[in-house]
Amino acid sequence: DAATSVNTTDFVGCLAAHLPPGIVYTQSSESYPSVLEFSIKNLRFVTPATPTPLVIVKATHATHVKVTVRCGAVHGVRVRPRSGGHDYEGLSYRSLDAARPFAIVDLAALRAIRVDVRSRSAWVESGATLGELYYGIANKSARLGFPAGVGPTVGVGGHLCGGGFGLMLRKHGLAADHVVDAVMVDAKGRLLDRAAMGEDHFWAIRGGGGGSFGIVVSWKLRLVRVPATVTVFTVHRPRNQSASDLLTKWQHVAPALPREMILRVVVQNQDAQFESLYLGRCTGVIATMTEMFPELGVTRRDCIEMSWIESVLYFAFYGTGKPKEMLLDRGTKPDRYFKGKSDFVHEPIPRGVWESTWSWFLEDGAGLLILDPFGGRMGSVAPSATPFPHRRALYNMQYYGFWFDNTTEASEQHMGWVRGLHREMEPYVSKSPRGAYVNYKDLDIGVNDYGGDGAGTSYEKARVWGEAYFKDNFERLAAVKAKVDPSDFFRNEQSIPPLPLQG
């Protein structure tokens, strides 16, 4: 807490005394830059001006996490966990506060996966990627799967902490809904399982956002059954082939489809790309589309039947016949700059708005909208069951801009595009507060302010972004934080502040 003075030399000494050599990287270590960059996904945060960690601890055992937290607490150096490094704002490896040193516990090497087919469960360590998890499950059983995100390089740790959704969300809800136990290191450096942390703390780590409630080392997941054959299709409907009409109708249809089907849309250039995963055979796809969305014109020729794990590859890499081992590729270097924002839509957006939105997609294709429909299982879970409150939305809308040029103009153009379109959509999306998804982290909506002395952030100020992510669940999250980390050791630009004592 504020009373603890910062002593970086003693902190590094503490790590050296209690950790094996070879897992602690200081800024003078030769491999520090490559260890740091290994899990960075966004080039926006690879600049000489980005404050980087004093130390990176590459944990290979849970005790390394404990030691780092304890040394940090004693010597006043805050610790940020990093699992897959996909944070949209880079908060797992950069800090906006250049004045205060921090350390990273990198969990990429803590990535064991133990699947138990008989009990349909798995223990997975936070540093595993979603691709490794899917691969590990499919290797043990072709009839089990897990309902998490689409990107195979996303880290299990950050993803589950923020909720996590993918193409089975309408049948099975959020990834975090399927967490049945977890092992974490708390702010006192204790290793706790679900029973030891208690139900409030366990509630908070399943969607309350990473980096606030401790460092989750491993998770016990309930796996879900998948059919032997699933069906995918992708159809393109350009603007001049009634894409606006189809988008308008899609908003009514997609959240009401049978749970076995998801029909998401990617809007890019002058084109709406409708992508679907159906947990069953092509005959089911055709029957459903004929009854509910004949205008889309999906035919048997559009269907591709495959196994569930092949569908994971299909959506990750757009194509068939790719080797499963591609799911194990974590990548080693960031390849793009990007900015994302998000909304939740509760009322269908009028056709005229879709029509005028096309003018935003004239340029070079480097900006897109991804529409992920809810309904099904999502709609039948109470908004307070986990910290993720947006269960009743028709769909999630993600704005995503990316670019490859290292120039200020490119950055301004693309950041401006994402922000501009987001601004334009304001009248048509959730209000009071306007929602956002914590896994698509966006510092535009507000950041914690620790003041010059670093004493603490204002709960009232944090409500502005906190209620966008968590609505009424924000207060409960802050109450949990006050209980489990009252001195706010685990802190970042959008971590949950402790709820101030009443009266």
Residues that bind ligand FDA (CB under 6 A): 41, 80-88, 91-92, 107, 126, 149-151, 154-155, 157-159, 161-162, 164-166, 210-211, 215-216, 439, 492
- Residue pair 276/239 in contact (Cβ under 8 Å)? The answer is no
| Helix, strand, or coil (residue 2) | coil
With b for 16 or more beta-carbon neighbours within 10 A and e for fewer, the 152-182 pattern comes to bbbbbbbbbbbbbbbbbbbbbbbbbbbbeeb
Beta strands 179-185 and 215-222 are antiparallel
- We find the least distance from the C-beta atom of residue 4 to ligand FDA, in angstroms, to be 20
Closest separation between CB of residue 151 and ligand FDA, Å? 3
What is the DSSP code (8-state) at residue 381?
A: S
Question: In this complex, which beta carbon is closest to ligand FDA, that of residue 211 or of residue 348?
Answer: 211
Which lies closer to ligand FDA via its Cβ, residue 348 or residue 466? 466
Task: Provide, rounded to whole angstroms, the least separation between the CB of residue 234 and ligand FDA.
Answer: 16
Q: CB atoms < 10 A from the CB of 86, how many?
A: 23
Looking at beta carbons only, is 292 or 316 nearer to ligand FDA?
A: 316
Contact 450, 456 (CB under 8 A): yes
- In a 13 Å sphere around the CA of 215, the CA atoms on its Cβ side amount to 33
Comparing CB distances to ligand FDA, the nearer of 231 and 492 is 492
Rounded to 10 deg, the angle between the 308-317 and 130-140 helix axes is: 160
Contact 102, 53 (CB under 8 A): yes
Q: Nearest approach, Cβ of 50 to ligand FDA (angstroms)?
A: 14
Whose Cβ is closer to ligand FDA: residue 161's or residue 223's?
Answer: 161
In the complex with ligand FDA, the residue whose CB is nearer, 70 or 159, is: 159
Nearer to ligand FDA, 103 or 107 (CB): 107
Task: Give the contacts of 253 (CB within 8 A, at least 6 positions apart).
Answer: 263, 292, 293
The answer to whether the CB of 400 falls within 8 A of the CB of 370 is yes
Closer residue to ligand FDA (CB): 292 or 371: 371
| Residue 30 DSSP code | T
The least distance separating ligand FDA from the CB of residue 441, rounded to whole angstroms, comes to 7
Q: How far is the CB of 277 from ligand FDA (least distance, A)?
A: 12
At CA 127, angle to CA 121 and CA 132, rounded to 5?
A: 60
Host H or E run for residue 253 = helix 243-253
**Cβ 391 to ligand FDA, closest distance in Å?**
14
By beta-carbon proximity to ligand FDA, the closer residue of 205 and 282 is 205
Min dist CB 39 to ligand FDA, Å, is 7
Tell me how crowded residue 303 is: count the other CB atoms within 10 A of its CB. Answer: 19
Q: What are phi and psi of 460, to 5 degrees?
A: -60, -45
Least distance in angstroms from the C-beta of 1 to ligand FDA: 20
Residue recorded with tokens 């996303």: 154
Nearest residue to ligand FDA, by Cβ distance, number only: 210
